[in-house]
């Protein structure tokens, strides 16, 4: 069963800029992104990532339209044997937008700089992927944290987009380097500023590759999370805080947030008594037998010394890039919607599916084009 698509089905380019802070987008530092935002729109306060504000939960929300309770991705790296099963699934539990498009006969492509995304997000569901699965391309040097360099990803993406010029097509392109540099040097460092500028330069090349058919395209640029400076290099073990070991018996770090496994029989009153007095804890949310705790800005839930200068995971890094552009007739309506209300990452999949006449039964996000704010132009 499908919905009625827009009369001119769009081609959709989803650009995911890993670890890219929305405040880094300026006319001087990122001219290509700033120009795209002027042509379409940028959410005034940015978009919204789920908590923990980390790559895997954020991109799972983006491509499924569902929350972690449904798609199963609570934390980064759940495929690692050191991560216990209670901390989340190793792969999404529901079909992604790419899988639904492929089933409907709409061509898809995926090019990603983080190799862990291939099993996690089922990128093999796309008609064309690069790299082919979570394998290092032969002879490819990786960045210090194991990511594929942006230049290689961008070159492959341009080839894929050029081959798919006559839409509709849904393309997912993930650029990883801003995240790596932000972690290693901090998001305010000169190295990070250079990474933001170089990422923007590559975005400009990608946009120029589709410009001959600009009228067909909707371009959506997001980040999976922001980035903040590490203010205290000494990690905080939550189980060593007074009273916390009485309510939890294990934990998994997401840097600015952490997941705690609750002991049997622990109720919310006991949680409040243990966490309420702690200055390190700014908030918490229970999800059945697990508990997410959020730390104050700049501290990380880690054992020992923090090896990074930049981190994410907590509420202060939950703002994302949220830009729409392109020449398709739906772009002005999308621009109205993102300007009126900050879009969550899980809103994009049902919105894209709606333009293509595809149903996403598992999606929990809102279709931005079905929102009353997006219909302002039509009413006029």
How far is the C-alpha of 291 from the C-alpha of 270, rounded, in Å? 12
CB 90: neighbour CB atoms within 10 A?
16
Q: Supply the pLDDT for residue 344.
A: 98
Residue 294: asked if its preceding bond is cis (omega within 30°), the reply is: no
Report how far Cα 90 is from the mean position of its chain's Cα atoms.
16
Q: Supply the pLDDT for residue 78.
A: 47
Report how far Cα 15 is from the mean position of its chain's Cα atoms.
10
What residues contact 38, with CB distance under 8 A and at least 6 apart?
A: none
What residues contact 294, with CB distance under 8 A and at least 6 apart?
A: 51, 256, 257, 281, 282, 283, 284, 314, 315
Q: Supply the pLDDT for residue 167.
A: 67
Question: Are the beta carbons of 344 and 61 closer than 8 angstroms?
Answer: yes
Maximal C-alpha separation, the chain = 62
What residues contact 244, with CB distance under 8 A and at least 6 apart?
A: 238, 260, 274, 275, 278
Q: How far is CA 205 from CA 117, 163, 339, 353, in A?
A: 24, 15, 26, 26
Q: Identify the structural domains of the chain with CATH numbers, from first to last.
A: 11-230+313-379 (3.40.720.10), 238-307 (3.30.1360.40)
Q: Supply the pLDDT for residue 64.
A: 98
- The two tokens of residue 2 are 């499908």
Q: Report which of 194, 195, 198 is spatially closest to residue 178, judged by C-alpha positions.
A: 195
Per-residue pLDDT tens, the chain, 380 aa: give them.
345 556 778 999 999 999 999 999 999 999 999 999 999 999 999 999 999 999 999 999 999 999 999 999 998 864 455 567 888 888 999 999 999 999 999 999 999 999 889 989 999 888 888 887 667 777 788 888 889 999 999 999 999 888 766 668 999 999 999 999 999 999 999 999 999 999 999 999 999 999 999 999 999 999 999 999 999 899 999 999 999 999 999 999 999 999 999 999 999 999 999 998 889 999 999 998 999 999 999 999 999 999 899 999 999 999 999 999 999 999 999 999 999 999 999 999 999 999 999 999 999 999 999 855 544 444 33
Q: Supply the pLDDT for residue 312.
A: 97
Q: Supply the pLDDT for residue 129.
A: 84
Q: Supply the pLDDT for residue 378.
A: 40
Quick one: which H or E segment has residue 310? strand 310-311
Q: Supply the pLDDT for residue 49.
A: 98
| Phi, psi at 140, each rounded to 5° | -85, 115
Which residues pair with residue 16 across a beta bridge? 174, 222
Residue for token digits 């999976």? 224
Question: Are the beta carbons of 245 and 260 closer than 8 angstroms?
Answer: no
Q: Supply the pLDDT for residue 1.
A: 38
Q: Supply the pLDDT for residue 166.
A: 67
What residues contact 13, with CB distance under 8 A and at least 6 apart?
A: 161, 171, 173, 206, 210, 217, 218, 219, 220, 326
How far is the C-alpha of 72 from the C-alpha of 28, rounded, in Å? 40
């Amino acid at each position: 069963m499908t919905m009625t698509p827009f009369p001119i089905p769009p081609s959709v380019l989803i650009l995911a800029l890993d670890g890219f802070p929305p405040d880094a987008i300026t006319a001087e530092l990122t001219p290509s992104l700033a120009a795209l935002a002027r042509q379409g729109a940028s959410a005034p306060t940015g978009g919204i990532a789920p908590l923990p504000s980390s790559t895997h939960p954020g991109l799972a929300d983006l491509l499924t339209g569902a929350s972690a309770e449904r798609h199963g991705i609570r934390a980064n790296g759940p495929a690692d044997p050191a991560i216990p099963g209670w901390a989340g699934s190793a792969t999404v539990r529901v079909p992604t937008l790419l899988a639904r498009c492929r089933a409907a006969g709409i061509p898809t492509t995926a090019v990603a700089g983080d190799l862990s995304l291939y099993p996690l997000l089922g990128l093999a569901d796309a008609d064309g992927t690069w790299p082919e699965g979570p394998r290092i391309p032969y002879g490819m040097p990786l960045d210090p944290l194991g990511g594929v360099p942006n230049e290689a990803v961008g070159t492959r993406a341009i080839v894929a987009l050029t081959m798919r010029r006559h839409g509709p097509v849904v393309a997912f392109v993930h650029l990883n380097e801003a995240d790596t540099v932000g972690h290693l040097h901090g998001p305010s460092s000169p190295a990070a500023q250079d990474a933001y500028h170089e990422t923007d330069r590559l975005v400009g090349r990608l946009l120029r590759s589709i410009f001959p058919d600009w009228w067909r395209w909707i371009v959506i640029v997001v980040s999976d999370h922001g980035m903040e400076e590490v203010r205290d290099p000494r990690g905080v073990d939550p189980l060593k805080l007074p009273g916390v070991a009485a309510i939890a018996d294990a934990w998994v770090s997401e840097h600015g947030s952490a997941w705690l496994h609750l002991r049997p029989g622990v109720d919310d009153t006991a949680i409040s008594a243990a966490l309420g007095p702690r200055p390190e804890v700014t908030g918490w949310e229970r999800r059945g037998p697990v508990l997410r705790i959020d730390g104050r800005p700049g501290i990380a839930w880690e054992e020992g010394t923090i090896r990074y200068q930049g981190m994410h995971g907590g509420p202060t890094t939950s703002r994302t890039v949220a830009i729409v552009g392109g020449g398709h007739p739906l772009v002005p309506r999308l621009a109205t919607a993102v300007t009126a209300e900050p879009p969550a990452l899980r809103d994009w999949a049902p919105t894209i599916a709606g333009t293509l006449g595809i149903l996403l039964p598992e999606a929990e996000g809102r279709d931005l084009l079905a929102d009353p704010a997006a219909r302002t132009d039509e009413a006029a």
